[in-house]
Structure formats: structure tokens, C-alpha cells
Amino acid sequence: MTIAIGDLQLPELPIDRAEFALDPQRFLEPAREQHPWLARFSKGFVVHGHQAARDLLFQDDKMGPHFAGLVEHFGAENTGWARFMIEQMATISGPRHDRLRASVATAFTPRRANQTRPLMRQVITALLDEWAPRGRFDFAEFASYFPITVMCGLLGVSAEPVRGIRAALDAQMSCMTLDRDLLPTILEAFELLWNFADSVIVEREASGEVDEDSLLDALIASKNNGGLNENELRDLLISMLLAGYDTSKNELTMTMYHLLQHPQMLERCAQDAAYCRKVIDEGFRHSSVVSPSRTLDTALDYDGIHMPAGTYLCFALPMTGRDPAAFPDPLRFDPDRSGGARPIPFGRGTHICLGQYLARAQLEEGIHLIAQRLVAPQLDGEVTWRPFLAVWGIQELPIAFTPA
């Protein structure tokens, strides 16, 4: 026997309010007492249980990413941003999704991620050479330059122009907060990103130069061979820049925040690269930053609950790693922990994060060298937080330290 999801007496989680981003646990613990894995929020339902998220995210045949629904939510039909949101690889499923994903998949294999480690070390070393002598800075701002510069290296384009569009990259991701007041900023940001991608592609094609190691040149070749059209090429470049900017910098900042509270762990990171891998894994478990949304295309029954087509589900992956039913003592940050379930910070199913191996590798390399160069770092001001919806994380993390 099933009960309709709309008839359930569920707790309310204010995941779209600032106070939730500041301290999710304060709201989550009493919510779990009412229901072990499901809650309501202002726009739909929140899946916060680990096993439920694992099971439901794998049912790609019954749901799809909510990006297309955002266009209707914002009333932004017939805009360039609307076309991008509806047609981008992260939105679609089926043969076209598989074709677009295959066009970039070889750049994000575990082997390619490991081959990119020298570039990662080069990038983070250059950033530390620039920033470490200051003795104090906002770590979140510092971190924002690292993954995007690595991604530019993979693409084979200069990172300098990309640094100037960081605000546009942030604004594009802000659409997931569902704040309608942000629409003018989102549309302006997308136009900037589109023009940037277009100019980079046109300039590269006009140069006649081809770099065998450049992902951008590989995408252009795919377009020339009929594998991509002009919009798909530009959409993929924008998607790669977004993927190389937001989530990794937030996860790096969040991990540093935890290490500031455990200085002995940070000292060990400076000496032990293998331990850095465990720290990053624990960071993904304890405080991942992405909460993907899905809309049901067809009705679905799960755990005695009937969810009709059109149901909007937000998968609160940062909270699934803190599920006491899946992880012993889940609030404790412990890189040496054993047992428990396998976290799902990158999602599941067809739309699992394509760049997960690259993200892990660059965070491992980053923490290892950061720990060597920033001695005895401490908080040096107020920590501020980003909205929980979209990509959660720390907006400002001021630190002071002794430069090595």
C-alpha cells in the first residue's frame, strides 16, 4: 500500500533561506525525527537520506534534471539563457546526451586526471607564490583561481581572460537558488559567458593552430566532423568553465575550514600525500556542496510513497553524508574513519558528475601544497556562507598564517 507524497505529514526544511545555509544541522536533526529521509520545502520536496538518494538518483528513466523547469520558474522563455538551460548536456537524456558526453569523456577519465597532476601542481604553486607572502587573505577568493586555471589548461586556453568573468560564472550558478530577483543578473552573466565562448572559438579557428592535447581543439575537430553543431560547441565550453570553477573551489574552501579546526590534520597533509586523499574523501562525505534537483517525468513509487509526474525533488547530498543511518558518528570529521556506506557527493546515474576524478585529483594536490606553504593558519575574521541551494559553501574564509 502506498500513500501519495502530497498527503504525507512531512517536516519543513528551509533550504532556500540564509539561516539554513549557516547551520543546516540545526534544522535537519528534528526533521529526521519526523521522517528519516524526506521533507518539504517551499518549491517541492527534499531527499536528505543517504539510501533514498542513492536509490532514487539511479532511476534516470523516470526523472530528469530540473534545469528546464528553471526557465519556466523565472519566466525567461525565448532568451538565449533559456535555450542553453534546455539544451545543455546536463539537462537532456537519451542519445543526444550520450553523444555530447562522449565528445568530452576522454578528457575526464581517471588516467587523464592523473596525467594532469603536474599541471595542477604548477598552478597551485604559482598561486601560492603570489598569495602566500601576504600572510593573510580570503581563502575562498584564493581558491576560486585554482580549479578554473586547471580547466583552462585542459582546454588549452589562457586563464587570464577567464579570471575576469568569475562573477559571471557565479551568477550563472545562482539560478539554482530560485530567487526570481536575480534574473536580470543571470541573463547578463549568460550573455557575457556566451560572447566569451564565441570569441575564444572564433579566434582559435581563425588561427589555424591545433594542439593535440587541447580539449578545445578536440571539440572543434568534432564540430568540423559533424559530431557537434555550433551551439553545442559553445554550450560545452561554457559548461566546462562552469564545472571547472564553482564546485571544486567551494569544496576546497570547505575542506580548509574543517582543517583549521584540526591543525594536526593540516600538518599531516603537508607531509603525507596519501593522507590528503583521505582528507578529501572525508570532506566529500561530511560537507559536499552540490544539491542536484530532479523533476519526475513519470510517476514513481518508493518506500511506500507515491510520487506523481511533475514532483520536484531536491537531493540534499551535503546532508546525505551526515545520515546517522549510513555513517557512524556522522558529524565527526575523521579522515581515518572506517566502515559506513559509500558517499555519493557526485550524484548517481546518467548525469553523475563527469569531472569527479579531476576534482578529486586537484583537491588532493591543492591541499598537499597549501599545507606546506601556509603554516599554522587561523581564522582571521567572520566566516560567511553561500546559499544552500545551487552550490553550497563558504563565501568568505579570512585566514592569517605564517608563510613558509
Tens-place pLDDT, residues 197-208: 999 999 999 998
Q: Which amino acid is at 47?
A: V
The CA-atom distances, in angstroms, between 190 and each of 63, 141, 171, 178, 261 are 26, 22, 8, 16, 38
Degrees, nearest 5: CA angle 265-375-332? 25
Query: Does residue 390 register a pLDDT over 80?
Result: no
Tens-place pLDDT, residues 53-88: 999 999 988 998 877 788 999 999 999 999 999 999
* 270/257 Cα distance (integer angstroms): 16
- pLDDT over 90 percentage in the chain: 83
Classify residue 316 by its DSSP letter: -
Tens-place pLDDT, residues 125-157: 999 999 999 999 999 999 999 999 999 999 999
Query: Does residue 340 register a pLDDT over 90?
Result: no
329 band by pLDDT with thresholds 50, 70 and 90? very high
Task: Return the pLDDT at 8.
Answer: 96
Q: Are 385 and 144 in contact (CB under 8 A)?
A: no
Query: Does residue 376 register a pLDDT over 90?
Result: yes
209 band by pLDDT with thresholds 50, 70 and 90? confident
Query: Does residue 21 register a pLDDT over 90?
Result: yes
Task: Return the pLDDT at 211.
Answer: 86
Task: Return the pLDDT at 381.
Answer: 97
pTM score > 0.75 for this model?
yes
Fold assignment, 3-403 = Cytochrome p450 (1.10.630)
Q: DSSP H helical segments within 91-145, as ranges?
A: 95-105, 110-115, 117-131, 139-143
Average pLDDT, the chain: 94
Degrees, nearest 5: CA angle 219-224-228? 55
Task: Return the pLDDT at 80.
Answer: 95
